[in-house]
Amino acid sequence: MFSLTDEQIAFIENDIKVRGITSPDLSIDLLDHICCVIENELDGYRNFDTVYQETLLLFGEKGLKEIQDETNRLLTFKHYYIMNSTMKISGYISSLMILSGAFFKFNHWPGASALMLVGVFLLTVLFLPLLFILKFKASAESNRSIALSIIAFVSSILFSVGIIFRIMHWPGAQFMLIIGGVLLLLAYLPIYFISVYKNTTNKLNATATVILIIAGVGLFLTETGMSGIPRPTSDSFWRGVTESNDLLNFSIQENDKRYEKVAKQLSTDSSETKSESILQLKSATDELMTYTKKMKAFLISKTEGISEAEAEKIKLDALRTAGGGGLPDILFGEPSSPYSAKQLQNKIESYKQVVEKIAPSTDLNRLNTGNFMMYGEEVSWEQSNFDQLPIALIIFNIIRIELGIIATESAALNQI
Amino acid sequence: MYSSALIKGTLKTIVLKLLSETEKMYGYEITQKVKELTDSKIVITEGALYPMLHQLEAEGIVTTETVNIGKRIRKYYTLTQTGNERAKEKIYEFADFINTMNILLDFKPNIKYV
């Protein structure tokens, strides 16, 4: 057996560095290994260079660098077991919380929203990121599966963050949910289908998965896009809406007639404070009613995609199948929105103050905007009237509020 | 020589078994020992061996000691306490696997259990 000279060893040591091995730990291993191989192969007939080149071939086509890359991959992956079990546990816990949250909600027990929120939060910050880190590492070979992992990751994060935003009424929820769904349908599915369908044993699986995803996303988008009123109740419900609207118009006319009457009386016996009070009441009422009228038109124009002028003239019956998608964003918190639940509440409160000043003994209970208990949970006025409802119900609730305003106006008129 | 897919899953078991029988071994020695024991039917590639040894070291399954040999350094790998247990588990698991494959494929080789 030959022994390598110090120069030859130094040469190999340097060459390992040149070939991209930066880890000193690994280069010690490789240097000794290469030296051992060469010393066994050298036989006095072949020269060092030839044997060295042959030895390098042992390390595969991609060479020494590949060993270092592989080592790094394995080392950064040493938390695999911890990550894997954290992923599983967080997955179990979050799905349990979401399911029981849904069950709580179904039974109208308190704490449903909190359960769901924590569940979705766990899913978003622990389960999904870990799942995709692990999945990504496992399928690091083909470009297609990398693309698939990234798309799936982005769309599922968008979905779950969108749901959190929706529960919290932060703006942008609808946007995230729709982009997530579209990404899943138009980017993930085609790539997935092509890549799995080629693998003949998986045809049934691929088809089933694709159909399930399309059905799921389809149902979801339908739900967010047009959450209509359940059919069996819709007809009687609709009679209620139209009748309320008729009643509202009738009451407005009645009040106008009363104003005219009072105006005539005042012209004969002139009492300045009285006429001033009445003018104040009329202008405050008109202002509030203009706001609600415009708010209705604005909301209808948003859900129906028509102009506000058209929306003012639309027959309420046309809203039967219209959805309420995006309305939570508009009504809760979106800063650029000209109408919000909070703003309406404030306006009603200041209207009540005006009325109280003019006619102190007027019953203001019809315009109560405080919280109340519903199914054992305290619900705010904004939530009960506007949260997660289809446009038809929101419009109905605004009509109810308007009826309350007109009734209060009428009561105040009696007091003056 | 067997297909790399077959060898890939058993590499760790082979190395752990060798280390459990010998006090300490260096990388080249491991490859040669496997070659010799299996009559060159199983050849451990360098590209698979060293990443795995480094991983085992990071997991605390093996420790290393270095010995200067002239101008170069030789790194010996030794099983730790955990490593010994892991080796036993792995070997038992694989023996069990072979047993199952026996039943499944219905062949009657003369497998000697460890």
Q: Are A294 and A339 in contact (CB under 8 A)?
A: yes
pLDDT at B17 over 60: yes
> What's the confidence (pLDDT) of residue A328?
64
Chain A contact set for B54 (CB, 8 A): 25-26, 71, 74-75
Contact B76, B24 (CB under 8 A): yes
Q: Which residues from chain B sit within 8 angstroms of residue A74, using beta carbons?
A: 51-52, 54-55, 58
Determine whether the interchain pair B46/A9 forms a contact, defined as Cβ–Cβ distance below 8 Å. no
Contacts of A10 in chain B (CB under 8 A): 71
Phi first, then psi, for residue B69 (nearest 5°) are -120, 95
User: pLDDT at position A378, please?
Assistant: 76
Question: How many inter-chain contacts (A to B, CB under 8 Å) are there?
Answer: 68
Report how far residue B14's alpha carbon sits from residue B30's, in angstroms, rounded to the nearest whole number. 10
* Average pLDDT estimate for A216-232: 57
In the prediction, which pLDDT does A232 show? 47
- In the predicted model, is pLDDT for residue A19 greater than 90? no
Sorting pLDDT into bands at 50, 70 and 90, what band is A226?
A: very low
How far apart (Å, rounded) are the C-alpha atoms in residues A352 and A360?
10
Contact B46 A71 (CB under 8 A): no
User: Given this model, what pLDDT does residue A330 score?
Assistant: 67
Q: State which residue of chain A sits closest to B75, comparing Cα positions.
A: A29
The answer to whether residue B111 scores a pLDDT higher than 60 is no
What average pLDDT does range A85-101 have in this prediction?
90
Interchain CB contact of B100 with A (< 8 Å): no
Q: In whole angstroms, how large is the CA radius of gyration of chain B? A: 15
**Option in B27, B48, B54 nearest A75 (CB):** B54
**How high is the ipTM of this complex?**
0.86
What residues in B contact A60, CB-CB < 8 Å? 45, 47
Work out the burial of residue A80: count CB atoms within 10 Å of its CB; fewer than 13 is exposed, 13-18 middle, 19 or more buried: middle
Q: Is the pLDDT of residue B101 over 50?
A: yes
Q: At what angle do helices A272-304 and A231-268 cross, to 10 degrees?
A: 160
Given this model, what pLDDT does residue A229 score? 46
Q: Where are the domains of chain A?
A: 6-75, 83-225, 231-415
CB-nearest to A67 from B46, B59, B72 is B46
Tell me the domains of chain B and their CATH numbers.
4-105 (1.10.10.10)
CA–CA distance, A222 with B72 (Å, rounded to integer):
70
Looking from the CA of A404 toward its CB, the CA atoms found within 13 Å total 19
Question: What's the pLDDT at A150?
Answer: 83
Q: Is the pLDDT of residue A199 over 70?
A: no
Residue scoring higher pLDDT (A198 or A11): A11
Give residue-wise pLDDT tens across range A227-284: 444 444 567 777 888 888 889 999 999 888 888 888 777 776 666 677 788 888 889 9
pLDDT recorded at residue A202:
63
Contacts of B65 in chain A (CB under 8 A): none
User: Chain-wide mean pLDDT for chain A?
Assistant: 80
Mutate to test the interface with B, among A32, A65, A73 (most CBs of B within 10 A): A32
Could you tell me the two tokens for B81? 């306490």
Residue B78 has pLDDT above 80, yes or no: yes
Rounded to 10 degrees, the C-alpha dihedral A198/A201/A204/A210 comes to: -40
Please give the pLDDT value at position B108. 61
**Per-residue model confidence (pLDDT) at position A224:** 53
More confident site: A219 or A230: A219
| Whether A78 and B69 lie within 8 Å, measured CB to CB | no
The pLDDT of residue A325 is above 60: no
Residue A3, pLDDT above cutoff 70 = yes
pLDDT at A50: 85
Q: Per-residue pLDDT averaged across A22-43, rounded?
A: 87
Read off the pLDDT of each residue in B38-54 and give the average, rounded to a whole number: 88
Spatial distance between the Cα atoms of A240 and A260, rounded to a whole number of angstroms:
30
Q: How far is CA B84 from the centre of its chain?
A: 12
Distance from CA of B114 to the nearest CA of A (A): 28
Most confident region among A73-87, A142-156, A177-191 by mean pLDDT: A177-191
Average pLDDT on B41-46 reads 86
Nearest to B113 by CA among B26, B28, B17, B31: B17
Any idea which of A205-219, A282-296, B35-49, B78-92 has the lowest mean pLDDT?
A205-219
Report the distance separating Cα A395 and Cα A322, nearest Å.
12
pLDDT category, B20, cuts 50, 70, 90?
very high
CB atoms within 10 A of CB A73: 13
**What residues of chain B lie within 8 A of the CB of A6, using their CB?**
70-71
Q: Which two tokens stand for residue A355?
A: 């009325």
Whether the pLDDT of residue A385 is over 50: the answer is yes
Average pLDDT, chain B: 87
* Confidence at B113, pLDDT banded by 50, 70, 90: low
* Chain A contact present for B70, CB below 8 A: yes
- pLDDT over 80 at B29, yes or no: yes
Closest-CA residue in chain A for B46?
A: A59
Please give the residue of chain A at the shortest CA–CA distance from B70: A6
A75 → chain B, closest CA residue: B55
Is pLDDT of A358 > 60? yes
- B2 inside 8 A of chain A by CB: no
